[in-house]
Amino acid sequence: AFAIPYALIIIFATAWWQVIIANLFLGVNQALTWTMSVTAKIDLVGPVNRGLAVGIDESAGYVGVGVGGFLAGLLVTSYGLRPTPYLLVLGVIVIGVLVTLGPAKETLPFAHSESMDSGPVAHTQQPAQPAPKLTRLGAYMSWHDRSMLAVCQAGFINKFADSLVAAFFPLFLLRRGVSLAEVGLLVGIYAWVWGFGQVASGALADRIGRKFPITVGTFLISGGLAVFVGANSYALWYLAVMLMGAGMALVYPNLITTVGDTADPKWRGGALGVYRLWRDGGYAVGPLVLGGVAVFAGVSAAIWVGTVLVGLSGLILLLLFKETDPKRRKREPAWRTHPEWVAPRG
């Protein structure tokens, strides 16, 4: 429902401040819908196929972005920028609302059932403990649990790399005489490899664990950035964006899955929200930091800085991240037993 004002304000906007307000509504929409769609899928499948479920969710989302962009482009070409593309948006919103109110069912009971079947509460007479407050949960995810610290920083830096592709790659290529069509194809290949690869990478992580795909994927992204900025040929640029797309496919859904592995089902939604705050915060901070570098040292320097940051992120994962695959990790709610997390008695 928060997306309805977004579309209507854009249709009738006459000033930029109105566009900013519209984007605030869109931000709330994204925070509520996509975070909860991931949480719902994790609730439904339980621990066994968690990676596959998240991979399907993320892949469907980014395929939807591509399809929506394609349809919007056709409408803009034929009917102009406003209002027709946003009438399409309103149609999609109405369908989403009807599905949510109609055939879609609440998945929270599945999470409660999973909580009763896992951890020490299921095998003792202890009463189930309530979910921690958001401030405590934020501290736990961001600092107290070193694996979650590694996951949150990896998601944060991951968005630096994505920002480079969206904003800096086109500038870099256009200054080297690459046509707009070729720029679009290069960026599109990156998105396609990333989007379609997430289903396979999520299923792979269900079988071999989370740490290997995430760490390898992070280094692939860093390597792809290095190849891209150091190359001066189409063949190497195509190789670079495919490496980055494969790296993103390995990293993106499986970072979310590690949070699902670690968090007790009673507070999993909140934990995923904290992680996504860190991850999507990279969208805000990354362009500012890298843009500042570009202003003073050039676009190539900004890409090199991003390359180094992503490489360092991979090293942090190697050092701090412990395997969270539920088949390899004891199913015990970490916030109840962590020595830095348990509240003092009395």
CATH number of the domain at 253, please: 1.20.1250.20
Domain count for the chain, please give it: 2
pLDDT at position 333 is 40
Q: Of 51, 84, 112, which closes a domain?
A: 112
pLDDT band at residue 118 under the 50/70/90 scheme: low
Residue type, 304: W
- The pLDDT of residue 3 is 93
With both helix axes pointing from N to C terminus, report the angle between 268-297 and 299-320 in degrees, rounded to the nearest 10. 150
99 and 179 part of one domain: no
Confidence band of 331 (pLDDT split at 50, 70, 90): very low
215 and 286 both lie in a single domain: yes
Residue 96 has pLDDT above 80, yes or no: yes
Residue 227 lies in a domain: yes
- Residue 306: which domain range? 132-337
- The answer as to whether 119 is a domain residue is no
Mean pLDDT of 207-214: 94
What's the average model confidence in pLDDT over 311-318?
A: 97
Return the minimum-mean-pLDDT range out of 43-47, 293-297, 312-316, 329-333.
329-333
Q: Do 137 and 76 have their domain in common?
A: no
Token output for 280: 């999507």
Cα–Cα dist 249/252, whole Å: 6
Confidence bin at 124 (pLDDT 50/70/90)? very low
Whether residues 45 and 7 share a domain: the answer is yes
Domain final residue, candidates 83, 112, 141: 112
Q: Tell me whether residue 146 is in a domain.
A: yes
Query: In terms of domains, do 191 and 328 share one?
Result: yes
Predicted local distance difference test score (pLDDT) of residue 278: 96
Is there a domain that residue 310 lies in? yes
Q: Are residues 98 and 219 in the same domain?
A: no
Q: What is the pLDDT of residue 286?
A: 95
- Look at residue 239 in the predicted model and tell me its pLDDT: 97
pLDDT of residue 332: 42
Q: Do 302 and 188 belong to one domain?
A: yes
This prediction has a pTM of 0.83
Question: Is residue 122 one of the residues assigned to a domain?
Answer: no
What pLDDT band is residue 184 in, cutting at 50, 70 and 90?
A: confident
The answer, yes or no, to whether residue 90 has pLDDT greater than 90, is yes
CA 194 to CA 66: how far, in whole Å? Answer: 12
Is 290 inside a domain boundary?
yes
Q: Is position 174 within any domain?
A: yes
**In this structure, is the dihedral angle defined by the CA atoms of residues 317, 40, 46 and 54, taken in order, positive or negative?**
negative
The answer to whether residue 338 scores a pLDDT higher than 50 is no
283 and 322 in a single domain? The answer is: yes
Do the domain assignments include residue 125?
Answer: no
Residues 216, 141, single domain; the answer is: yes
293 and 170 both lie in a single domain: yes
Does residue 196 sit in the same domain as residue 288?
A: yes
Q: Of all residues in the chain, what percent carry a pLDDT higher than 70?
A: 90
- Confidence tier at 344 by pLDDT (50, 70, 90): very low
Rounded Cα distance between 212 and 229, Å, is: 26
Q: Check whether residue 102 and residue 146 sit in a common domain.
A: no
